[in-house]
Amino acid sequence: MYVILVYDVHQKRVGKMLKLCRRYLNWIQNSVFEGAISELKLKELIFEAWQIMDESYDSIIIFSSRNERWLDKQVIGLEKNEIDQFL
């Protein structure tokens, strides 16, 4: 499956969440990730995210599509993940 993940977590937990999501998906912007992932791996990611999150404050939204071809992506302005590769 293909997923887009966006998180909104407290500043204190951003570093951990970023590191976790990068292990499973590709960072594309600020707090946005995308990538192909198996259902099992996605469950693992969600389980690990729960350990980091404060569910009374933090939020993660995961959009998933069974087929990557069902989703088009358009970038307007700066493609930030290209810069990221040089950092």
Looking at residues 37 to 56 of the shown chain, list those that interact with its own copies (rule: CB under 8 A).
46, 49-50, 53-56
- Taking residue 23's Cβ as centre, other Cβ atoms within 10 Å add up to 11
**To the nearest whole angstrom, how small is the minimum distance from the Cβ of residue 9 to its own copies?**
8
Q: How many residues does the chain have?
A: 87
Complex with its own copies: residue 38 or 64, whichever CB lies closer: 64
CB 6 within 8 A of CB 32: yes
Residues in contact with its own copies by CB under 8 A are: 4, 6, 8, 28-32, 46, 49-50, 53-67, 70-80
